[in-house]
Amino acid sequence: MTIDVHGHVTPPELLKKFPMPPSLGDIDGMLARKAALGITTTVVGSPVGYGTMLPVPGNDNYAQPPASLARFHEWVAETVRAKAGALTGYVYANPFSADDVARAAEWLREKEFTGVIANSSVRGEFLDDSRTDDFFAMATEAGAPVLLHPPAVPVAAEAMGKVGAIEHVVRPCDITMGVAAILLAGRLQRFPRLKLIVPNAGGALALLREKLDMAQQRDQLEGPPISEQLRQLYVDTATPSLPALRAAVEVFGPDRMLFGTDSPPLATSLKDALAAVDALGLSDEDRANVLGGTAAELFGLGAVELRRAS
C-alpha cells in the first residue's frame, strides 16, 4: 500500500474557464500511472478551490461565490465516489473566512473528505493571527489533517516576477515563512492536537531549526523550543531534492514523513519520487510507514474503506 498525500484535480468547467495544465483533468490517466507503480491511493484537492494557481488578471481566489465553491466540492465528492479506494478528498478553506470554515466543517462530515487544504499565506498574511483560531479549532475538532499549501500569489511574488521563479522558489519560501510564523506565534501550543502537513519536505524549515530557536529566544517567546515543536509537524516528500529529504528525516523524523508527489499537476517522475524514498536508507518499517502506513493512520483511510464496504 502506497499513499500519495499530495495530488490535485480540477473539474472540466474550470479547465475551460482558466489556463491550467490538462493533467489536472486526466484522473483516469493519473490513477493508471500511479497504480502501475503500486501507488494505491491519492489524497486530492485544490489549494485554490474554485480558482486557479496561474495568474489571471482580475481573478481573486479569495472572493469565490459560495455556490461555485459548493459545486467544486460536490464534484470532488462525486469523483472520489467514482474511484472508491483510489481517491480521497481534501476540503478547501480560507482560514480567515468564517463562512469558509463553517462550510468546511460540514463537508468534513462527508465520508469522501478526510483532510483540509489551506494556504500558507492569504493575501500576504500568514496564519499566526488570532483570526485563524476558528479554522485551527475546526480542523482539530474534526481530527482532519491540514495540508498547508502555498497560495497562487505567495508573499514577495511581485518582487520575483517570473512565473517559474514564483512556482519553484517563492512558494517553498512562503511555506517556510508561513509555518515559522505559526510556530513562533505559539499556535501549536494552543492547538496541540492539530495535524499539520507541510509540503515540499517542509520547505527550508529543516535548515532553520537552530535559527528558529534563536528567534524564539531573541523575542523571549514562551513555550518549548521551536526545534522540539518541529517534531509535531508532518512533512511530505514532494520535492526533487534528496538533500532536503535527508534533512527532513533528521529534523522531523521518518515517523513524520508522508509520501507525496504534487502530481498532478507537476510532471513529476513517479519512479524518481519512489526511488528518492528508497535512497534515504530507512529501515523496512520506516520505509513502509513513509510510503503509506503513517498516512493511512493520519487520514483514517482504514475506517473509510470499512464505511465504503458497508
pLDDT tens-digit series, residues 75-91: 999 999 999 889 999 99
CB 152 within 8 A of CB 120: no
Domain residues of the chain, as ranges? 2-309
CB 255 within 8 A of CB 216: no
Phi-psi region of 86 (alpha: psi -120 to 50; beta: other; left: phi over 0): alpha
Q: How large is the average pLDDT for residues 258-275?
A: 92
Pick the CATH number of 2-309 from 3.30.70.1230, 3.20.20.140, 1.10.3470.10, 3.30.70.260: 3.20.20.140
Q: pTM to 2 decimals? A: 0.94
**Top-confidence residue, 116 or 164:** 116
Q: How large is the average pLDDT for residues 107-133?
A: 97
Given this model, what pLDDT does residue 54 score? 83
Q: How large is the average pLDDT for residues 151-165?
A: 90
Residue 158, all three cell numbers: 511581485
- For residue 125, the surrounding DSSP H or E stretch is strand 125-126
Q: How large is the average pLDDT for residues 69-80?
A: 97
Q: Which amino acid is at 248?
A: A
